[in-house]
Amino acid sequence: MKGQLKGERKKSLVLAMCLLAVFLVSVGLDSYSFAQKVAEVKVGIIEPLSGPMALIGDNELKAFQFAVKRINEAGGIKSLGGAKLVPLIGDSEGKPEVGMSQAERLINGGAVLLSGANQSAVVFSATQVAEKFKTPFIVSTGVADPITERGFKYTFRVMGTASMLSKLFFAFLKEIGTMTGKPVKTIGLMYEDTLFGQSMSKTHKNVVGTYGYQVVADIAYPSRTSDVTAQVSKLVSAKPDFVILTSYLSDAILITRSLYEMNAAPLGFLGTGGYDQPDYIKETGKLSENFFSNAIWSHTVKIPGVAEINAEFKKLYGFDITGFGGVCYTTAYVMKDVLERAASIDKEKIRKAIVETDMKIKEKGNILHYGVKFDEKGQNIHACELLNQIQGSQFLPVWPSDAALAKPIWPFPGWKK
């Protein structure tokens, strides 16, 4: 009798467990989901928060933090039980070796994802650490081609490459020359001598012949220099039809003032790097009027919701979201999308989810004018940039035409001394 009762209890227990399992499956909550509920997800953000790049680093960090605030206020990562994103901040000081140490510190501090870090040389070194520790790094800004040319499994980049930029620049020059009857034939290059400038100049020289242009000045200068007189003089003496400059902010200001002093008068100037920052216009005033610059994004893009998001950001911080900031904002939402689909804080599951990313325009928090989908190298295949021109002391998109708010002024009308 006792054995019979014991057997009945056992059957009842098994039946109860089966019913519980059926119930859990029916509502989409299996035991694995319970195990993956976490209070927070730590993500590492590396930016140059001190040194000459501090202003840009701070702008990018604010964009990240703003996006994280919105994500958390909207319920966090729902597949992880509403886990909140917790940014761990690292200051690279604009130095590659410091970027490496910060990456390791953030990983040891529990970050399951990394992002940042603006300067190509810093990104290059920090992603080496991420690869070593098998921690996914979603690069927001950092243009040098080699970043995604090393066969790394854990490095992914949202923005475009130097090669993509070169093709954009020369396609624009070809079109504007045809439209106006004032074509460019010769190019002058001037660039800072770190990985950023070197990578840009290399891709320009690789691409320029395809469009029928000739490089008549190829001038490198020491990054963070205090005097570019000799280099600018050499550039002006070569008399190129068009000048392409690659500099960080402080150098960009210095070079623009020197070009003015030497009364350089090509058909146009185009700058990449510091030339699209609000403080560039602030510091150069009318001297930078009619300069072109690439823009990885603009808060003026015609995407529903962007104006409201920018207004909220501006109310909080006192300035518009910058081009770099727009990419960082969307990168935070790429992180959210990845974590939602991974439903885990396991780094391998996160990496798998990144590989499978396919974020369209206007969805999942993406405010960019392009989607996000990574190729086998980790490069976003949809990345594309805009060209701005400074008109009336404002950055106005002028190309491509479907994103333009103004017509390009061509040729450069000269300095009003």
pLDDT digits (tens, 9 = 90+) for 298-328: 999 989 999 999 999 999 999 999 999 999 9
**29 pLDDT exceeds 50?**
no
Task: Compute the average pLDDT of residues 122-144.
Answer: 97
Residues 270 and 225 in one domain: yes
**219 pLDDT exceeds 50?**
yes
**33 pLDDT exceeds 50?**
no
Task: Compute the average pLDDT of residues 353-374.
Answer: 97
Residues 153 and 76 in one domain: yes
Residue 225 maps to which CATH number?
Answer: 3.40.50.2300
pLDDT of residue 13: 52
pLDDT of residue 17: 52
pLDDT of residue 348: 98
Window from 33-47, 53-67, 116-130, 196-210 with minimum mean pLDDT: 33-47
pLDDT of residue 31: 35
Confidence band, pLDDT 50/70/90 cuts, at residue 28: very low
Residues 312 and 236 in one domain: no
Task: Compute the average pLDDT of residues 88-94.
Answer: 97
> Is residue 188 domain-resident?
yes
pLDDT of residue 223: 87
Average pLDDT, the chain: 92
> Is residue 274 domain-resident?
yes
Window from 1-5, 10-14, 396-400 with minimum mean pLDDT: 1-5
> Is residue 288 domain-resident?
yes
pLDDT of residue 37: 79
What are the pLDDT digits (tens) for 245-300?
Answer: 999 999 999 999 999 999 999 999 999 999 998 899 999 999 999 999 998 999 99
Residues 130 and 185 in one domain: no
Residues 273 and 395 in one domain: yes
Window from 130-134, 206-210, 237-241 with minimum mean pLDDT: 206-210
Residues 11 and 123 in one domain: no
Task: Compute the average pLDDT of residues 318-345.
Answer: 97
Residues 183 and 81 in one domain: no
Count how many domains the chain has: 3
> Is residue 411 domain-resident?
no
Q: Contact, 249 vs 272, CB < 8 A? A: no
pLDDT of residue 41: 98
Range(s) of the domain holding residue 249 = 163-295+386-403
What are the pLDDT digits (tens) for 177-215?
Answer: 999 999 999 999 999 999 999 999 999 999 998 999 999
Confidence band, pLDDT 50/70/90 cuts, at residue 2: very low
Question: What is the model's pTM?
Answer: 0.85
**80 pLDDT exceeds 90?**
yes
Task: Compute the average pLDDT of residues 62-76.
Answer: 98
**15 pLDDT exceeds 90?**
no
Window from 29-43, 239-253, 325-339 with minimum mean pLDDT: 29-43
> Is residue 365 domain-resident?
no
Of 243 and 225, the one with more pLDDT: 243
Residues 340 and 248 in one domain: no
Residues 263 and 397 in one domain: yes
Residues 97 and 222 in one domain: no
> Is residue 316 domain-resident?
yes
